Amino acid sequence: MRFCRPSLLFAVALLATGSQPAVRAQSDAPPPKQDTSQKGTRPRLISSPHASYPDEAMRKRIEGKVKLSIVVDAKGRVSDVKPLSGPPELFHAALDSVKQWQYEPPTHAPVTITVEMSWGFPKECPGPVSDFGEVSGSSGVRNDKGLVLSADDDPNWHLPPYFDEDRKAGVAGEMILALTVNSKGEVTNVRVVKSLSPHLDKAAVDAARTWKYKVIAGKPESLPDDFQLHIFYGATCRPQF
């Protein structure tokens, strides 16, 4: 069964030109150290692909800044890079990231500059000051008769949205839905057992009505039957460095 936390279960990269929440890459401020021989202005970053959060660093919950020295050639590509400081567990991903970056071709190449990437995990925080929201829940359900269903094979399975207005209003916590599933695995009825807000309740009910389950344990002939689904909503803030 899938247990899904859309976007935020894993820390992902946030570049200076991007919008994802957990890893940030940017030019140093104040203006970074540059090679004393360069005559042109600092080239503008126009493309900044990024590597995923390193597995080892994720397992160990390692966060921090990596500072790198990079050389931008006449075509605006990064021709050389070396780490200057930061957690060693983050070096490889930082190097893999900047090697793919593209700058506007500098007037006087090559240009040596320093850049910095910040890697971190979102933190729980009060809704009114939060940056984004997290929704988590399982694609599987089980009832007290030992019947277990899974929606893993349903390409339409997705958790409901967490609307900004609810998050900013401080609406967070657990929602519980009661689902009636028929012999075809279709959700024929959805009832809100524990509500969070009318807005979020409706979105969750609408999503659940589109799901299709299959039996993975228990007797299929016992369908239709009722199941409870628990969905969790939480507000989070970007890591601060």
Residue range 100-146, pLDDT digits in tens: 999 999 998 999 999 998 888 888 999 999 999 999 998 899 999 89
- Bigger pLDDT: 39 or 94? 94
Dist. CA 209–CA 218, nearest whole Å? 22
| 240 three-state secondary structure | coil
Mean pLDDT for 226-233 is 96
Residues of the chain with CATH 3.30.1150: 127-237
The percent of residues above 90 in pLDDT, for the chain, comes to: 63
239 pLDDT band (50/70/90 cuts)? confident
* pLDDT computed for residue 121 by the predictor: 86
The 10s digit of each residue's pLDDT in 27-64 is 333 333 333 334 447 899 999 888 888 888 988 989 99
Tell me which residue has tokens 């958790």: 159
Domain 23-119 annotated CATH 1.10.10.60: no
Residues of the chain with CATH 3.30.2420.10: 23-119
6 pLDDT band (50/70/90 cuts)? very low
1 pLDDT band (50/70/90 cuts)? low
Candidates 204, 139, 212, 219; CA nearest to 182 is 212
Is pLDDT above 60 for 73?
Answer: yes
Q: Length of the chain, please?
A: 241
DSSP β-bridge partners for residue 173: 233
The CATH class of the 127-237 domain is: alpha beta
H-helix segments, 71-186 = 91-98, 164-168
